[in-house]
Amino acid sequence: MGKGSAVPIIVVLLALLVIWYLGAILLNAPVQLDTYARDHIAFTPWQLVLDTWNESRPQLPSPHQVLIDFWKSTFEVAPSSKRSLLYHAWVTLSATLLGFATGTVLGIVLAVLIVHNDASNRSLMPWIIASQTIPIVALAPVFVVVTYNVLTGDNLIGNSFHLTGDSARLVSKALVSTYLSFFPVVVGMVKGFRSPEALQLDLLRTYNASRPQTFWKLRWPIALPYLFASMKVAVAASLVGAIVGELPTGAVAGLGARLLGGSYYGQTVQIWSALLAAAILAGLLVIAVGVMEKLVVRRMGARP
Amino acid sequence: MARALSLAFQTGDGPVNALSDVNLQINKGEFVSFIGPSGCGKTTLLRVIADLEQPTAGSIEINGMTPSEARVKRAYGYVFQAPALYPWRTIEKNVALPLEIIGFSDAEKRKRIKETLELVNLDGFEKKYPWQLSGGMQQRASIARALAFDADLLLMDEPFGALDEIVRDHLNSELIKLWKRTQKTIAFVTHSIPEAVYLSTKIVVMSPRPGRVTDIIESTLPHERPLEIRETPEFLAIAHRVRDGLRAGHSYEV
């Protein structure tokens, strides 16, 4: 982080906290006032404010409630426990990473086809774009339910893989991640593979280089910066895909299940701490891609 | 050697004659410059020789081969206007690029990289990346890359056009030495009269609309050429004739 950037960040963070606490008072006060009236409790304004910040099932939990719940469910329970956020985060993360990996590979393969073959350019591109216009919330249940049933059911695929319920659930969620993450990779890599200048292509032509040689010596290395930019978008989309994949089927594990469970039982604090966990996870994933990018760029001799 | 060579580009406003009825013979070991204003087809002619453009009429032969055969056999090295070095490769890896594509052994690669980098006075810069080198050094690296696979013919398209005059003078005198040491045939495109006269054994003066050859001048200068030769009456006489040739082609009308 550059010099002097800490102050503005802290100012914005404080402003958000103030707005959040004020919002908690506004949203939670009606319920609190009802409670006072029902139990005939006398209260001071300050008492009201404090109580709105510490309800057990608030409309809007206050930041410290979320942080305390996050802390407890992350560090004070065993990671293997179903009450541990680490456990749920891992369930979601494994589907995210699987989907992200297959999505990236699929995106690169499609981009290679599109760049090298005009027929696939014209036949694939419209479908790829159309695929992203359908809301994932509508598609995810179909994906997850069909994939899960095919993988575990009594059919050719199910019988040949013998997947357990957990693995089948993982694969079906990863499929949603793949569906969301291949798109930015295709778009970025098509642009990347097409980025060599005419001069650079002419040079290889004077060497009578083959198409695979042109790909590996020029198109692939020149496209790598585009790949990392795409992967940063794709990894965040993968996480969204995995969480969305957990919502429709009543999954019992994963951050999505945590969100769902929280809303079933009115555990708003639990919802918010799961959201916090998802945000932190997304941040870490994007940072991880950024670190990979730095390492590769340094190996490719970029200006420091 | 080219016979009645023509090339027309089809454009929205009808064909543009980039080259029209060009006849030219280049002998082995010659240093031939193509000079003319922009649009005279000098770069196009070089690209036809390199099989980067296809002529619409006429024939062209390189040591008895068509340009396409010559390209497949890697019979020429091409130096572009820009160095076109790969920024992710070190200088030695850039020079290795054609060697990798042609498929030389590692030992042979190392030997040729060392030799060609010495030839262009870049030894010691093997591990540097292009951005760490000046423009002149980058263009020298691209010349080394074109020389690395030891083709007999070197095609150079305004290789020093983007460099300042001091660097250009220096590289010109180095290029003369390199040509004498390697005995290569060089076809060199330029729009600088002193550069053409200083370097060449033969100067092909071209003019635009349509691109054509207006004069071919055999240089009478000795092969030994210090930079001071540019002050001699003989040099100035040839330069004068080139200028006349350009004027005859109405090249100075704008």
Which residue's structure tokens are 């396409």?
B68
Which residue of chain A is at minimal alpha-carbon distance from B103?
A209
- Chain B residue with CA closest to A204: the answer is B98
CA atoms within 13 A on the CB side of A7: 2
Q: Cβ–Cβ of A207/B98 closer than 8 Å? A: yes
**Which residues are within 8 A (CB) of A257 and not within 5 positions of it... i.e. 6 or more apart?**
A88, A91, A246, A250, A251
The alpha-carbon gap from A111 to the nearest alpha carbon of chain B, in Å, equals 22
Tell me the pLDDT of chain A averaged across its residues: 90
pTM of the model: 0.83
What CA–CA distances, in Å, run from A86 to A79, A253, A277?
6, 11, 9
Question: Average pLDDT of A15-27?
Answer: 94
How far B194 CA sits from the closest chain A CA (Å)? 27
Span B39-82, pLDDT tens digits: 788 888 888 888 998 877 777 888 878 888 889 988 899 999 99
Region A89-117: mean pLDDT is 95
Quick one: average pLDDT of B113-137?
Answer: 90
- Comparing CB atoms, the residue among A199, A203, A303 nearest residue B131 is A303
Sign of CA dihedral B97, B98, B101, B104: negative
Q: Scan residues 24-83 of B and list those with Cβ closer than 8 Å to A.
A: 50-52, 71-72, 74, 76-78, 80-82
Size of interface A-B (CB pairs under 8 A): 51
Residue from the list B71, B80, B88 with its beta carbon closest to the beta carbon of A203: B80
Decide: B133 and B141 in contact? Cβ < 8 Å. Answer: yes
Can you name the residues that pair with B185 across neighbouring β-strands? Answer: B153
Using the beta-carbon criterion (under 8 Å), do B129 and A301 form an inter-chain contact?
yes
Beta-bridged to residue B62, according to DSSP, are B65
Using a CB-CB distance cutoff of 8 angstroms, which residues of chain A are in contact with residue B78?
202-203, 206
Mean pLDDT of A103-128: 92
pLDDT for res B10: 54
* Cβ–Cβ contact A198 with B under 8 A: no
Is there a contact between A147 and A175 (Cβ–Cβ < 8 Å)?
A: yes
Distance set, CA A113 to CA A188, B218, B238 (Å): 14, 52, 56
A236 band by pLDDT with thresholds 50, 70 and 90: very high
**Partners of residue B206 on adjacent β-strands:** B213
Averaged pLDDT for residues B23-35:
86
Radius of gyration of chain B (CA): 18
**Residue B113, Cβ density class (10 Å: 0-12 exposed, 13-18 middle, ≥19 buried):** buried
Q: Is A301 in the B-facing interface, judged by CB distances under 8 Å?
A: yes
Contact B72 A208 (CB under 8 A): yes
Percent helix / strand / coil, chain B, rounded to 5: 40, 25, 35
Q: Which residue has the tokens 């585009």?
A: A226
- For residues B200 and B188, the answer to whether their CB atoms sit within 8 Å is yes
Q: Residue B22 pLDDT > 80, yes or no?
A: no
**In what side-by-side order are the strands of the sheet with B2-11?**
B14-24, B2-11, B57-60
Q: Which residues in A lie closer than 8 A to residue B101 (C-beta atoms)?
A: 204, 207-209, 213, 217
Looking at per-residue pLDDT, the higher value among A250 and B78 belongs to: B78
- Residues in A closer than 8 angstroms to B86, CB to CB, are 200, 218, 221
Q: For the segment A191-217, what is each residue's pLDDT rounded down to a tens digit?
A: 999 999 999 999 999 999 999 999 999
Give the chain A residue whose CA is nearest to the CA of B130. Answer: A301
Burial class for B209, CB neighbours closer than 10 Å (0-12, 13-18, 19+): middle
Measured between CB atoms, which of B76, B90, B101 is closest to A213? B101
- Give the per-residue pLDDT at A287: 95
Rounded Cα distance between A205 and A198, Å, is 10
Q: B143 falls in which pLDDT band (50, 70, 90)? A: very high
User: CA–CA separation, B58 vs B56, rounded Å?
Assistant: 7
